[in-house]
Chain A
């Protein structure tokens, strides 16, 4: 049994975890019969990286080998914090930081931020020719699965909207951009994709890096949209990208760099509500619930459009409790769902997603079924 931890305990120096996560001490999941045991990290990890909080690590902070390295690490950390507390260094978010620091300092920084996106152009490293080949594959798959011939517009000038997905979708979940292509074509939307690096990747890794990188990527998105002459950028289903480009950039884009940006969810809601698609809700007669992602709902304020769509097309839709802005975090946002560093997955599945599992199983309690997130 873990003893109670006090604030002062965090300053204790020890390689051993301050707290061990024990399955017996975690909230019981009534509707789950068995779950895997919690494994200790291997000793060679603990010898090299810091697991001293709870025996888990997402970022692999190296343990300093000597006092000099330790001083350097602390010095760099403090220098980084100092950047946040001056107007010159942090004019973008200084008010929020100073107001929040009095009571709580939220750190959403991910040390896995990388300049790869800017040097190559996207997190997937695809050049325009590679991207266009992927689009061809999409068209072929759509034809194969649905019989519909769609010519997906790429770099089309003068379209109404530039749709930008998360670049990873073109590698891992091609069915998502395919679905949007079908919906937009059927709804008669004037749209285009961009084959330019950054133009096909809505994710702004600069959010995890610093404001200079954030600005560069956001401006690049805008520049590509201006070059294509579109009226609006629509951000696909990536909460992190939505937060960065739709919300964060709103105050930072000057008049000369401005272009309207919107999440795809309100657009989908309009399409469904206005009957632009021939939909048969009876084909979706199975239990459905909705998870409210932090980036979309709490950070971007997009709460209702997705519900309007589901209520229209899923007759057995039910909310999980709590929902909307009161929903619990699932621990998978900002790409964490697909990141598997060290034993972070174990922590994510056992702790962060625990409440989410409870919510989902309870939403499907009557049917006694479990659905993946």
Chain B
């Protein structure tokens, strides 16, 4: 829902930049932004609080939680809770939408004074926290939400069969052959030094 809210804010921002704010489409985007935004912020905050309770009330989960896990949760919650405070100043996301227009236009869009972030401390704090969070995410284990696609949704890393309708169609064939051409960086009694994968995997007996 939060990602949907961002998307509709972005689209709304484009409308503001182009000035096309009177049509029904803009109205639809406006209301969609409200729906996704409110549901997203409330459920994300509730979920974040639930995660903290789950992780630290269960003995087993608490034992395997590193300090960074707590920090990540606290950081995410701080963004969410500050968002709820910011809502009291921006119930229709007008400030957020105008700021988005400002960003999209490369700071060319002229912010109406009443929608300027600088005048609303709660919104400023929320924005600063959000930007810091977005900078932090790629360097943290929070990116597991991306890894989850490969480890869960793609179901064990692209599992379409190599033989389909009676025809061999492994699209990784070229990659596999290229990898077989690499030298094995280790050796053992059963693997001579400096050999390539394709050389040692043959059965020489």
Interface of A toward B, CB cutoff 8 Å: 4-7, 79, 83, 86-89, 91-92, 95-96, 99-100, 102-103, 115, 118, 210, 212-213, 215-216, 219-220, 223, 250-255, 258, 260
B185 lies within 8 A of A89 (CB): yes
A213 lies within 8 A of B190 (CB): yes
A6 lies within 8 A of B185 (CB): no
**Cβ–Cβ < 8 Å partners of B188 in chain A:** 210
The distance in angstroms between the C-alpha atoms of A219 and B176, with both chains bound, is 14
**Cβ–Cβ < 8 Å partners of A92 in chain B:** 179
The distance in angstroms between the C-alpha atoms of A216 and B188, with both chains bound, is 15
**Cβ–Cβ < 8 Å partners of A96 in chain B:** 151, 157
B186 lies within 8 A of A220 (CB): no
Looking at the complex, which one of A89, A100, A219, A252 makes contact with B151 (CB distance below 8 Å)? A100
4 more A-B contacts (CB under 8 A) besides A5-B63, A102-B147, A251-B172?
A88-B185, A219-B203, A253-B170, A254-B176
**Cβ–Cβ < 8 Å partners of A88 in chain B:** 182-185
19 contacts between A and B (CB under 8 A): A4-B59, A88-B185, A89-B186, A91-B182, A91-B197, A99-B150, A99-B151, A100-B151, A102-B144, A103-B141, A212-B201, A215-B197, A216-B200, A219-B201, A254-B173, A255-B168, A255-B170, A258-B163, A258-B170
With both chains docked as a complex, state the minimum distance between the C-beta of A150 and any C-beta of chain B, in angstroms.
Answer: 31
With both chains docked as a complex, state the minimum distance between the C-beta of B125 and any C-beta of chain A, in angstroms.
Answer: 31
**Cβ–Cβ < 8 Å partners of B162 in chain A:** 250-251, 253, 258
With both chains docked as a complex, state the minimum distance between the C-beta of B114 and any C-beta of chain A, in angstroms.
Answer: 45
Q: Which residue of B lies closest to A93 (CB)?
A: B157
With both chains docked as a complex, state the minimum distance between the C-beta of B38 and any C-beta of chain A, in angstroms.
Answer: 32
Interface of B toward A, CB cutoff 8 Å: 59, 63-64, 141, 144, 147, 150-151, 157, 161-163, 168, 170, 172-173, 176-177, 179-180, 182-186, 188, 190-191, 197, 200-203, 205
| Given A102-B144, A251-B162, A255-B173: A219 touches B202 (CB 8 Å cut-off) | yes
With both chains docked as a complex, state the minimum distance between the C-beta of B167 and any C-beta of chain A, in angstroms.
Answer: 10
Q: Which residue of A lies closest to B163 (CB)?
A: A260
**Cβ–Cβ < 8 Å partners of A102 in chain B:** 141, 144, 147
**Cβ–Cβ < 8 Å partners of B147 in chain A:** 99, 102
A216 lies within 8 A of B201 (CB): yes
The distance in angstroms between the C-alpha atoms of A54 and B54, with both chains bound, is 28
Q: Which residue of A lies closest to B177 (CB)?
A: A254
**Cβ–Cβ < 8 Å partners of B161 in chain A:** 250
A95 lies within 8 A of B184 (CB): no
| Given A95-B157, A219-B202: A6 touches B186 (CB 8 Å cut-off) | no
The distance in angstroms between the C-alpha atoms of A99 and B197, with both chains bound, is 24
**Cβ–Cβ < 8 Å partners of A83 in chain B:** 185-186
Q: Which residue of A lies closest to B182 (CB)?
A: A88
**Cβ–Cβ < 8 Å partners of B141 in chain A:** 102-103
**Cβ–Cβ < 8 Å partners of B59 in chain A:** 4
The distance in angstroms between the C-alpha atoms of A79 and B147, with both chains bound, is 26
Q: Which residue of B lies closest to A215 (CB)?
A: B201
**Cβ–Cβ < 8 Å partners of B157 in chain A:** 95-96
With both chains docked as a complex, state the minimum distance between the C-beta of B184 and any C-beta of chain A, in angstroms.
Answer: 7
With both chains docked as a complex, state the minimum distance between the C-beta of A210 and any C-beta of chain B, in angstroms.
Answer: 8
Which of B162, B201, B203 has the most chain A CB atoms closer than 10 A to its own CB? B201
With both chains docked as a complex, state the minimum distance between the C-beta of B37 and any C-beta of chain A, in angstroms.
Answer: 31
| Given A99-B147, A115-B190: A212 touches B176 (CB 8 Å cut-off) | no
With both chains docked as a complex, state the minimum distance between the C-beta of A89 and any C-beta of chain B, in angstroms.
Answer: 5
With both chains docked as a complex, state the minimum distance between the C-beta of B165 and any C-beta of chain A, in angstroms.
Answer: 12
With both chains docked as a complex, state the minimum distance between the C-beta of B177 and any C-beta of chain A, in angstroms.
Answer: 6
A258 lies within 8 A of B168 (CB): yes
| Given A99-B147, A212-B200, A258-B162: A252 touches B63 (CB 8 Å cut-off) | no
Which of A83, A87, A118, A250 has the most chain B CB atoms closer than 10 A to its own CB? A250
Q: Which residue of A lies closest to B191 (CB)?
A: A212
The distance in angstroms between the C-alpha atoms of A102 and B147, with both chains bound, is 10
